[in-house]
Amino acid sequence: MFMWFVHKQVILTKDNLIKRNWNGSTRCSFCDRDESIKHLFLDCPLAKILWQSVHIAFNITPPNNINTLFGTWLDGVELQTARHIRVGVCALLWAI
């Protein structure tokens, strides 16, 4: 369910909360930049460290946008390995 929300880009990141008249800060808790789904899961320095770990462990280039994460990102990776990577990525995104 969580990954479906990420895919639909409806996770309650601070940019989405602002659209719902939330009055809090728009800044990321990890790096103090404006928080969005793309920022939180791909561009934040914390996310970049996690993606670098994925790159080192599996020798695959991290996705560059949310759509790629759910599309072509693992093209060319053996099916069983890709399934395991996806499960791990789900856990990493949830942990963030």
pTM: 0.87
CA–CA distance, 90 with 45 (Å, rounded to integer): 18
Per-residue pLDDT of the chain (96 residues), as tens digits, is: 999 999 999 999 999 999 999 999 999 999 999 999 999 999 999 999 999 998 999 888 999 999 998 888 898 889 998 999 999 999 989 999
pLDDT of residue 3: 92
Q: Can you give the residue ranges of every domain in the chain?
A: 2-95
pLDDT of residue 70: 87
The residue written with tokens 């460290």 in the block is 49
